[in-house]
Amino acid sequence: MNAILRLTGFFAFMAAVFFLSAVPLPAKDPSWSDLNELVTVLYQKGRYTEAVSVAKESLELARKMFGSDHPNVATSLNNLASLYKSTGRFQEAEPLYQEAMAIYEKAFGEDHPYVATCLNNLSSLYKSQGKYAKADPLSRKALEVYEKAFGQDHPQVATTLNNIAEIHRARGQYAEAEPLYQRALTILEKTMGGDNPNTATPMNNLAELYRLQGRFDRAEPLYQKAIEIVSKAFGESHPDVATYKNNLALLYKVQGRFEDAEKTYMTALHIVERELGKDHPEAAHILNNLAELYRAQGKNDEAKALYEKSLGIQRAVLGENSSQTATTLNNLAELYRSTGNLDKAEALFKQSLEMREQALGPEHPDVAVALSNLAGLYYDRARYQEAQDMYERALKIREKVFVPGHPDIAILLHNLAGVYQTQARYREAEVLYKRSIGILEKAFGADHVNLANSLNNLALLYKWQGRYDEAAALYQEALASLEKNYGADHPDVLIVLSNYAAFLREIGRIREAEEIEERLKRQVEAGSSS
């Protein structure tokens, strides 16, 4: 079985939006402050169109009341920009953040904390666009300002450390991200107390890092602790509880703990629908993730219904061409692909790609995801040259945006190797598989689960070349990695076991093959009866 690795692009955590309150200067009329407060309330309720309208009114009123260079104008500019960012209107957000920062710099100087907040927000915008090289220096400048103004142990310093860590994580620089998350968490625990809800953010993000690294035993207790802290502070129905439960559910899904994942997703969804409304974008986000869970289990009708419900919310609230809408559309395309409706899948993949290019630009990492998934469809349809072209284009994007050792580069190398392997270009395929394995080993360690697919496929390649001893060793290595991380009954373990049994039969090791086939039969029967 020549496994193509796929990225579906659903999101695991919510990015922070930094809204600003009025600068503590005398105001001529409280109505501007009231509008500012209303913007925040509407945003929290997911009523983005209304929030943008009120934010524009706030900006117009601020210019009229205070003059174009007043800090309150900068506050309105920042808040409107943050709304544009949340709805994917990045081109409109950038000049507003820049104008706000220029006003604050003129009013207070370059080393004022308000300037640092604008730097953080502009950095977050660039991160959302995949412009990590532009995002990183802005967050570092913000860190410098905060440390100078407040000292090294201030909560704002912790927030900015967390943001820098997020950039490192997005770029695949996991070793650099981990100590920054840990330092941010230590500062918040020291200054605010170990049970303060602000500690939950870096705690959750550190858990996300561990999940990506396959360090599941470290990730789960951090998710649980974050949920416990926020529940104690705000109650079990707070939206932040839903966010962290959503992320915990994703961990369970990756581990193959599907019942735990479904239960946790459902709890998160009920919280969001009750507290924020059934048409809130976060409800659509969780519906999409729950649909992904059902698709992984082969519950295709349930998955399709949830994808379509999610799409309905996103189109109504975020717009027809938002990047979030494109993600759900991509995932629905994956469902059609997996059920054999390849024409429908191809049309949706192409639509999702076009939407992402329009919303995010042609070199965004999410565009590479869309290209990779479309390439996977072309592979399924034996359109190998088109698959190769798409993979190579996606690889160019990732190699430009990410650091050389990013795991997502390894995934594309693996998939491109699969195309070469199918075309009997064995030497080229072997080189790419080994590059992929080398990156993954360096990023995650020699026994990480992400290595298993490359090991499995390289084993298949060696089998085709008659290199049986090398193939057998790789199958065994893949199995050991999967069983260590997932347990003996995980679906991925069963797939590799099946491949290994077929290989043993083909090379005449019948007794060993029969032993594995008997084990497979017992595990499948146990799974169906449980």
CA gyration radius, the chain: 25
pLDDT, one tens digit per residue, over 126-170 is: 999 889 999 999 999 999 999 999 999 999 999 999 999 999 999
> Does residue 339 carry a pLDDT above 90?
yes
Residue 465 — very low, low, confident or very high, per pLDDT cuts 50/70/90? very high
* pLDDT for residue 263: 98
* pLDDT for residue 527: 66
* pLDDT for residue 88: 83
> Does residue 530 carry a pLDDT above 70?
no
Is residue 423 within 8 A of residue 385, CB to CB? The reply is no
The DSSP secondary-structure symbol of 13 reads: S
**Which pTM value belongs to this model?**
0.83
With a pLDDT cut of 70, the percent of the chain lying above it is 94
Where residue 487 falls (left for φ over 0; alpha for ψ -120 to 50; beta otherwise) is: left
Residue 305 — very low, low, confident or very high, per pLDDT cuts 50/70/90? very high
What phi and psi, each to the nearest 5 degrees, are found at residue 70? -80, 145
Token pair 């992904």: residue: 292
DSSP string across 458-520: HHHHHHHTT-HHHHHHHHHHHHHHHHHHH-TT-HHHHHHHHHHHHHHHHTT-HHHHHHHHHHH
> Does residue 15 carry a pLDDT above 70?
no
* pLDDT for residue 244: 97
Is residue 365 within 8 A of residue 397, CB to CB? The reply is yes
> Does residue 484 carry a pLDDT above 90?
no
Q: Is 132 helix (H, G, I), strand (E, B) or coil?
A: helix
pLDDT, one tens digit per residue, over 377-435 is: 999 999 999 999 999 999 999 999 888 888 899 999 999 999 999 999 999 999 999 99
DSSP string across 297-315: TT-HHHHHHHHHHHHHHHH
Where residue 20 falls (left for φ over 0; alpha for ψ -120 to 50; beta otherwise) is: beta
* Cβ within 8 Å of residue 169, ≥6 positions away: 177, 205, 208, 209, 212
Looking at every residue in the chain, the average pLDDT score rounds to 90
Residue 449 — very low, low, confident or very high, per pLDDT cuts 50/70/90? confident
* pLDDT for residue 11: 25
| Mean pLDDT value across residues 508-517 | 93
Residue 398: closest CA among 440, 352, 365 = 365
Quote the tokens at residue 434: 């080994």
- Alpha-carbon distance 362 to 356, whole Å? 8
* pLDDT for residue 320: 86
Residue 310: closest CA among 335, 338, 329 = 329
> Does residue 524 carry a pLDDT above 80?
no
| Mean pLDDT value across residues 499-513 | 93
pLDDT, one tens digit per residue, over 58-69 is: 999 999 999 999
